[in-house]
Structure 1
Amino acid sequence: MTEYSVLVPFVPRRLEQALPFAGLVNWTPAVRLWQGQSMLLEPHQTFVGAAGAGFRVPVGFGVTLMPLRHPFEAANQARSVALATGHPVIAGFGPGAPAFQENLLGAPYEKPLAVARQYLTAVRRLLDGELVHMDGPEYTFQAQLAPAAAPRVDVGLGVLRPGMARLAGEIADTVITWLTPPSYLREVLLPAVEEGMARAGRTDRPRIVAMVPVGLEREGTAPERLALASNYAHLQAPHYLDMLRRAGVETAGQDPHAIARGAVDVGAFVTGDLDTVVKRLDEYRQAGVDEIVLNATGVNKMFGTQEAIGDLTEILRTAV
């Protein structure tokens, strides 16, 4: 059965801003609260703060960026959140854009897949209580987390294209996608995940989590405007444009509005009346997604937090 979760649809500056969305996990069928990488209020602190405020809910990081933290720190922080909330955690990681890597590390990853393999392997083994020896090429260290009985932390990998999907099929507990249409998931990413599973001799498929930007239609608001408000930066990033091109969106020489329109047409951004939205979300279930994370960022940006909460509440009560 496919489950539904919610994403905090903005970058919080104060803890109390995130609490209504934690409340949705308490009071609706949503199973988990998610947040992507934040350069303001850091998501680990947000979730621990919410737990301290009384909102102890399952959470997911989708995704935090590898250049920001050493694998030991990543494992320790993820387990700290599990200890503080008392719930299992999905800790998703991704390499980030090459420019981001270069700005923080002095140079982009020469082989992002190899770095991601080493990073996720180290984090998983640390969380499993192992004494980990890493001897490069990207990380060289010896470490072990202090023993503690904690809820499980699943280690996820952010996936846009087949190479990372194959790697996730080999080593990840969870596959996390963003802005990926259901047809692309079904026809491109999931077969690549299965290739990776076969290569590793795995029979347990990683959990498939799709972050889906969504918003109910509003009179006078063109769907592409809502899609742009939701994912303006992503719709200009080379790696996302490449993914959308593979998914059937014409991107070459197109302005952001045209690309956003294409994202709506292929179902990468889900909008329409309530019945239409629920039907289009069900396409993700049919594609093999285990958890649909509703991302109301566009609605929040254009119409405010109350409207975003209203959309999420209606969709969750109808879809689940």
Structure 2
Amino acid sequence: MSALPACSVLLPFLPRRPEQLLPYAALVEWTAAERLWQGQSLLVEPFQGFAAAAGSGFRVPTGTGVTLMPLRHPYEAAHQARSLALTTGEPVVAGFGPGARSFQRSLLGAPYASPLTAAREYLTVVRGLLEGRNLSFSGTYFSCEGAMTPAVTPRIELGLGVLRPGMARLAGQIADVAITWLTPASYLKETLVPALRAGAEEAGRPVPRVTAMVPMALRAPDRDPAELVVAGNAPHMRAPHYIDMLRTGGIDISGDELPAAGKRMVEGKAFLHGDPGELAGLLAEYREAGADEVVLNLTGVCNVHGPKAAMSELKTILAAVA
């Protein structure tokens, strides 16, 4: 078998109580999983949820993939990331992204005219603050005058959500980690990784690590994988920027109803489905494509079959890929 990327775990639901994170933090602590990730939540925020888990005794490496820039000023973002590292005593990947244009409009009154410029400014401010600099920064979208109180923390890496080549090139220039969601391994290899490397070369810096959030499920007789795809990814499959990314990657779902689109997603390997050995082989393709870390996303299983089924499958898959 080809070498596998490091494997991490995505919390497969939006928690309403911080204690719901504890079994997943325990899974990371007691297995070969590298990190616990959570995407943006408008219920329990990932920064607060991870801190609560640490307070309950589960101090594990964490990642936010990705929190949305319109929700907080970059000073607050840097403060939250550093607070989490101080609270857990473990490394943090603080991932950010501009979000959908509709989300930007709903909070800001108008979408970013240039999401690339907004992301560049945002990460520039966050990095400067985390590096202890006294900033005097004035940009198109974000400004910051000042610094944070000095503190020694575990490593904090800055991530950028990446779907298309422009953002990948920018991540190569300014991020530590490029975070992808729903991207097939072939698209990662042919489109995103070359852009990431080009950006890093332009900036004269190392190529960022690649973390791929990958939805998947184990094969079972009573399951329709297309149903699981839709259950875990329907909002993304309706979003124009995801549709565009998937079409470029050879999966055109723009004219399909969701059940049919779900089948196309499985066929195009944007959603992985199989027995443990098959999933290990499919994850190896991500390593070959340039991913350093794959985050196991069992959201579809959780939404259809419940959190116990998702936890059981996470344990089975981690055992197969350890």
- Alpha-carbon shift at residue 252 of structure 1 (Å): 3.3
Question: 2:256 aligned with 1:254, yes or no?
Answer: yes
Alignment equivalent of 1:155, drawn from 140, 155, 158: 158
Displacement of 1:28: 0.9
Helix, strand or coil: the match of 2:291?
coil
Matched, 1:120 2:123: yes
Q: Deviations over 1:266-299 (max 9, x none)?
A: 2111111121111111111111110110011011
Equivalent position of 2:179 in the other structure: 176
Tell me if the contact between 1:177 and 1:209 (Cα under 8 Å) persists in the aligned partners.
yes
CA distance in 2, matches of 1:295, 1:272: 14
Preserved contact between residue 273 and residue 279 of structure 2 (Cα < 8 Å)? yes
Could you tell me how far 1:2 is from its partner in structure 2? 2.2
Where do 5+ consecutive residues of structure 2 fail to align?
A: none
**AA of the residue aligned to 1:247:** G
SS in 2 for 1:232: helix
Equivalent position of 2:114 in the other structure? 111
CA contact (8 A) 2:243 2:252 kept: no
Alignment of 1:209-228 (within 5 A): 209-228=211-230
Q: Do the aligned partners of 1:209 and 1:292 also contact (CA within 8 Å) in 2?
A: yes
Letter of the 1:198 partner, please give it: E
The equivalent of 2:311 in structure 1 is: 309
**Tell me, what secondary structure is at the counterpart of 1:16?**
helix
Partner of 1:70: 73
Q: 1:129-140 counterparts in 2 under 5 A? A: 129-140=132-143
Query: In the alignment, what sits opposite 2:58?
Result: 55
Shift of 1:140: 2.1
* Alignment-derived partner of residue 237 in structure 1: 239
Instruction: Give 1:197's match in structure 2, choosing from 200, 207, 214.
Output: 200
The 3-state SS of whatever aligns with 1:228 is helix
What is the distance in 2 between the residues matched to 1:113 and 1:43?
Answer: 24
Give the partner amino acid of 2:314. L
What is the distance in 2 between the residues matched to 1:296 and 1:137? 38
- What is residue 149 of structure 2 aligned with on the other side? 146
Structure 2 length-normalised TM:
0.97
Distance in 2 separating the partners of 1:73 and 1:125? 13
Q: Which amino acid aligns with 2:304?
A: M
CA separation in 2, counterparts of 1:250 and 1:151? 42
Cα displacement (A) at 1:141: 2.2
Distance 2:222 2:315 in 1: 22
Task: List, as ranges, runs of 4+ consecutive aligned residues in structure 1 with deviation greater than 6 Å.
Answer: none
Q: Offset at 1:261?
A: 1.3
C-alpha separation in 1, matches of 2:26 and 2:93: 19
Question: What is the root-mean-square deviation in Å for CA atoms of aligned residues?
Answer: 0.9
Q: 2:292 maps to what in 1?
A: 290
Mapped to 2, the partners of 1:237 and 1:137 lie a distance apart of 26
Alignment-derived partner of residue 321 in structure 2: 319
Q: Is the 8 A contact 2:215 2:299 kept in 1?
A: yes
The one of 264, 272, 275 equivalent to 1:273 is 275
1:16 to 7, 19, 32: 19
**TM-score, with length taken from structure 1:** 0.98
Question: Offset at 1:220?
Answer: 2.5
Post-superposition offset of 1:107: 0.7
Q: Report which stretch shifted further, 210-219 or 153-162.
A: 210-219
Contact preservation (8 Å) 2:75, 2:144: no
Structure 2 residue 101 is the aligned partner of structure 1 residue 101: no
3-state SS, counterpart of residue 233 of structure 1 = helix
| 8 Å contact from structure 2 (residues 5, 283) kept in 1 | no
Distance across 2 between alignment mates of 1:305 and 1:69: 30
Judge conservation of contact 1:157–1:175 (CA < 8 Å) in 2.
yes
More moved, 187-196 vs 259-268: 259-268
